[in-house]
Amino acid sequence: MKRSLASVVAGLLVVVMVVTTVPVATEPAGANPVGDTFVVGAATRSISPTQSELNAGLYLGGYDFGPSYRAEANPNVHEDTSARAVVIGFEEQRTVLVTLDLVGMGNLWMRAIRDGIAAATGISSRAVMVHVSHSHASLDFQGIWGGVAPAYRQRVVNESVAAAVAAVDALGPADLRVASVDVPDLGTQPSWRA
């Protein structure tokens, strides 16, 4: 049973990664495609810290405590971090998936993102799923290792909502397919003993 569930999750992750990185055909501006077909839209917004945000005090998450993990001690952004949104719809129903390059996020901020997307798009907040990549090379949104400034927190919320709105604007017809793959070693711990 675990392998089947893992296969489904792995397949869904591949679909989300492909959909968020492959350009989606869109309808003309203002169109809202509805009918007996699926529609998909995707968009990405940067949540990489600006120099002024770095100077305000941001910490990397998941390393250790102390000043060496303060982002201003490491002032360069090595790779951009993003808020990515995918909207999948059928007839009048829509679901939004938002992925953030962060080590973690509390439920109050996730709720702020869901509520913001609902207000901006008309999609129920109950149909919005927010998750984080859990990258330990990203900023500490939870505040466990030092946290981030309030202005940066609000920018992440705003960019997440903007990504979802752009994904709705990019909705176009899509064929959704389901597949599975056997991944026998997924979730197993390799033995480090000789």
Q: What is the pLDDT of residues 67-81, one digit of tens each?
A: 545 555 555 666 788
- Kindly state the helix (H) or strand (E) to which residue 132 belongs, with its residue range: strand 128-132
pTM, two decimals, is 0.72
What are φ and ψ of residue 160, in 5° steps?
-65, -45
User: What proportion of the chain, given as a percentage, has pLDDT over 90?
Assistant: 39
Name residue 109's amino acid: W
Q: What is the pLDDT of residue 187?
A: 66
Q: 7, 182 in Cβ contact below 8 A?
A: yes
Residue 8: pLDDT band (50, 70, 90) is very low
Q: What is the mean pLDDT of residues 25-44?
A: 67
H helices present in the chain, as ranges: 2-21, 51-57, 107-121, 150-169
Which CA distances in Å does 83 have to 72, 109, 131, 176? 22, 14, 10, 23
Q: 49, 71 in Cβ contact below 8 A?
A: yes
Which CA distances in Å does 125 have to 72, 96, 100, 168? 35, 9, 17, 14
Residue of 179 and 34 predicted with greater confidence: 179
Residue 185: pLDDT band (50, 70, 90) is confident
DSSP annotation string for 32-50 = ---SSSEEEEEEEEE-PPP
**Coil, helix or strand at residue 97:** strand
